[in-house]
Amino acid sequence: MHLARFPRVRLFPAPTPLERLDNLTRALGGPEIWIKRDDCTVVATGGNKVRKLEWLLGEAKELGAGHIVTQGAVQSNHVRQTAAAARKFGMTCTALLEHRVDTNDRDYLSSGNVLLDTLFGCRIEYRPSGLDMNAEAEARGAELRAVGEVAYVIPGGGSNAVGALGYVSCAQELVQQADELGLVIDRIVTATGSAGTQAGLVVGLEGTNANIPVLGIGVRLPRERQEDNVYRLARATAARIGLKGDIARESVVANCDYVGAGYGIPTEGMVEAVHLLAQQEGILLDPVYSGKAMAGMIDLIRKGVLTRGETVVFLHTGGAAGLFGYVDALTRS
């Protein structure tokens, strides 16, 4: 896979750390647990979207764009990172924020990622729940083009065949780190939502013949829909880079048992996972993605699905800024 053929900007120093979680491994008594620290991608407190933005903004710059349009939920990690990265390259950012979580909580509506969006000068527009938000973003981009702006539209989560290149690259990086450490990885676990992170990993691992399965822990959709979305994007990404052969359907696996009442709605497992990682390892998860993914992994260890003798790498997708939007849920006794 020769990714240098595609336009890219550089946003963070690579590689991100790959660390063994000694305390968590002991506490859970299951597999050897490592963590890939994509919360350390620097831009706007970091997160997985920064990897995708290197390729998305690379294409935007090549096309001469001066205005980025994107979308997400009110406490979107993606919007926060996009707004910051756009500013780095002198671009305006308009973000459409969906009221996906039904709440009047002041912290959720104005703190955390929303506060940072505002500090980055992001032009925020709100939308009610239930709309096709990518279509809304495309329509806003068309309106900007109609008045003479060169607008580039980034889908929610940066998840298309361009953005997914960030996690094709991450897969290459992770395999190289593991090889240098002499680390045999049995499984990668990560949150899966807009699909780009998991799809990119699947393609990158296939392209390196790593034979490492990826387990996505879903944060929004039922399993069948989530796996279909990931598989569709994985195939499109593989086609974009010219990967020989097709992506096997069985390589896309999502466990969506830990969503709870819905996207962005706290669960007891998420709260426990956030507290456990903070107190065992001094690492902050987020309440929407990595917190629920870690909750799923912890439960699967306790149930014996992930067992002693395995080596599991948890891909940390960042998002700690979102904790400030969930103060009540995280401090309730």
> What is residue 325's three-state secondary structure?
helix
- List Cβ neighbours of 60 (8 Å cut-off, separation of 6 or more): 68, 91, 152, 154
How many C-beta neighbours within 10 Å does residue 130 have?
9
- The torsion defined by the Cα of 177, 310, 24 and 290, in degrees rounded to 10, comes to 70
Is residue 113 within 8 A of residue 73, CB to CB? The reply is no
Classify 93 in phi/psi space as left (phi over 0), alpha (psi -120 to 50) or beta. Answer: beta
> What is residue 243's three-state secondary structure?
coil
| Residues 237, 154: Cα–Cα separation, whole Å | 16
> What is residue 97's three-state secondary structure?
strand
Active-site residues, by number, are 76
| Residues 187, 243: Cα–Cα separation, whole Å | 22
